[in-house]
Each structure stands twice: as C-alpha cells, then as structure tokens.
C-alpha cells in the first residue's frame, strides 16, 4: 500500500487539509446522495443551512465561494466536474469521486464522536453575536 512510510501525524495533517474550509462539509454532505448541477448544489447547501437555523454560518453560501471550494476539492481529487454534453451553456454536474466517497465514509466515525460529545462541544463553542 502506498504511503505506509508517511508518519501518522503528517497523514492526519493531510486529511485535515482536505477537510479544511467552512463549506467543505456542506459540499460533501450535499453531494453524498448523487450528482448535482451548480445551482442545485448551491440551493441544497443554503436550504440545509436555513433549516438548521444558520447555526453553522452567518450568511448564505455565495456562488464565488462555492466555485472556489469546488475548485479546491477538484484539485484534491474529491469532487469531479462533469459536462453533460460538449455544447456551450449546458449544465455542469458535480459529484464525489471514489476518493471523495471514501473520505465521506472515513469521517463518519468522527461525526459519531461529535454527536456523542455534543453537549461538551456545544458548551465550549464560541457564541455568535446576532
């Protein structure tokens, strides 16, 4: 298996670098069920945030920030951009790559850990002034 000689600490830092970014978890979760075009993805993320009462973000995700986030995740090989046809102005779809799906499966234990310790984590989370 490639990478076995990479120290544990560096591997953790590499994984955290991929997950870094306030909108990365939202993109991963929104693409988990399947491909979405850009507008569907933007709307799915903002709708989920609105339903949660904007507890994770103070304002909606913008097109610019989503574009930057998707570009970064594409460079890491987590998300794939796919054109439906070669014609101009056709929808572009985004989907998780096999590596992206693997990443999402890998963070599920971390999510479970956060759920198990929700009270402790909430008590120390910085409060937003509305």
Beta bridge partners of 82: 93
How much is the pLDDT for 89?
75
Task: Report pLDDT digits (tens) over 90-127.
Answer: 788 999 999 999 999 999 999 999 999 999 988 887 76
10 Å CB burial of residue 63 (0-12, 13-18, 19+) is exposed
**Lowest-confidence region among 1-15, 42-56, 69-83:** 1-15
* Residue 3, pLDDT score: 56
**pLDDT tens string 18-71:** 999 999 999 999 999 999 999 999 999 999 998 888 777 788 999 999 999 999
Top mean-pLDDT range of 5-14, 70-79, 84-93, 104-113: 70-79
Q: Residue 2's pLDDT band (boundaries 50, 70, 90)? A: low
Closest CA to 95 of 116, 80, 110, 111: 80
Which secondary structure element, helix H or strand E, spans residue 51, and what is its range? helix 38-51
> Band of the pLDDT at 130, cuts 50, 70, 90?
very low
Whether the predicted pLDDT of 86 surpasses 80? no
Residues with Cβ within 8 Å of 18's Cβ and at least 6 positions away in sequence, in order, are 24, 73, 76, 78, 103
What is the assigned CATH class of domain 8-124? mainly alpha
pLDDT of residue 128: 56
How is the chain split among helix, strand and coil, in percent rounded to 5?
A: 55, 10, 35
pTM equals 0.82
């Amino acid at each position: 298996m490639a990478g076995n000689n990479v120290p544990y600490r560096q591997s953790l830092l590499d994984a955290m670098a991929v997950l870094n970014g306030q909108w990365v978890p939202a993109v991963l979760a929104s693409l988990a069920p399947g491909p979405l075009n850009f507008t569907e993805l933007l709307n799915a993320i903002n709708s989920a945030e609105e339903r949660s009462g904007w507890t994770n973000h103070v304002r909606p995700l913008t097109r610019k920030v989503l574009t930057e986030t998707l570009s970064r995740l594409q460079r890491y090989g987590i998300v794939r951009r796919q054109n439906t046809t070669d014609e101009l102005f056709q929808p572009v779809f985004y989907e998780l790559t096999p590596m992206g799906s693997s990443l999402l499966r890998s963070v599920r234990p971390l999510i479970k850990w956060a759920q198990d310790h929700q009270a402790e984590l909430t008590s120390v989370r910085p409060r937003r002034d509305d």
